[in-house]
Amino acid sequence: MEGLMPLLGDKFPEMEVQTTHGKIQLPKAYKGKWFILFSHPADFTPVCTTEFVAFQKRYTKFKKLNCELMGLSIDQVFSHIKWTEWIKENLKIDIKFPIIADDTGKVAHTLGLIHPGKGTNTVRAIFVVDPKSVIRTILYYPQELGRNMDEILRIVKGLQVADKNRVAMPANWPKNEIVGDHVIVPPASDEKTKKARLQSARKGKISCFDWWLCHKKVKRA
C-alpha cells in the first residue's frame, strides 16, 4: 500500500527512478548484488553533506562486499548535481554513486519515507537489499541524527556471514563482550539436535555455555 514502508522479507518494490546517473530500474538494476538505498532530508544541508562524504569514503569497502549505494531525497536532479559539484569543489570528494531525484515524492511515499510529524522532507532511512531483491534491514533515523556508516557496513558483512554459514550475529559483532568475534549457532529446536549440539561441543567443533547458547568461529566477509 502506498505510503506504508515495506517490511523485512518483502521484495523491494519495482520502480523506475530518475537519478544523477540517468533512469534506473529498481531493483532490476542491482539483481545479483546487494544494494543500499538511503534517503536524506535535503541537499545543501550540513548533516546530509557529512553523510554523503562518509558514504563515499567507504564506497570501495561496500563494493568489495558486492554492495552498491544509492541516495534519495525529494530534491530535483539539478539540485543533486549542483550539490555534488559543491562537495567536489569544496570538500574534494567526488560522489560516485547515483542519487534519486524524487521531486514528485512518489518514491518517498511508496517506501514510507515521509513522516508528517517530522516535516515534509524525507526522514533518514536505510534499506539493505540482498541479491534476490529481498529487503533484509530497515533503519529509521530522525533528521537531526546523522548515521554511522561503519555500522551499515557491519550490517552488510554480518548478513553475508549469516547467509553463508547459517548462523546469527551476537551484539556488537565482531567484538562481542561474551564470545568475541565468534558467531552464534542457532539454538536446538528438538532433543535430537540438542544431543548432537552437546556432542559437537565435547569434540571441540563448537563452544557452548549451554545447549541453547553455542558459538563458533567462521571466516568473515
Q: Count other Cβ atoms within 10 Å, centred on residue 210.
A: 10
Chain-centroid distance of CA 22 in Å reads: 23
Tell me whether residue 214 is one of the annotated catalytic residues: no
HSE-up of residue 205 (Cα within 13 Å, Cβ side): 7
212 φψ region: left (φ > 0), alpha (ψ -120 to 50), beta (else): alpha
> C-alpha grid cell for residue 31?
539483481
The active-site residue out of 48, 67, 208, 214 is 48
d(CA 6, CA 185): 29
CA distance 190 to 169: 22
Give the DSSP letter string of 167-213.
Answer: -BPPTTTTSBTTTBT-EEEPPP-SHHHHHHHHHHHHTTSSEEEETTE
Grid coordinates given for 126: 536505510
Mapping DSSP to helix (H, G, I), strand (E, B) and coil, where does residue 161 land? helix
**Which residues are tagged catalytic?**
48
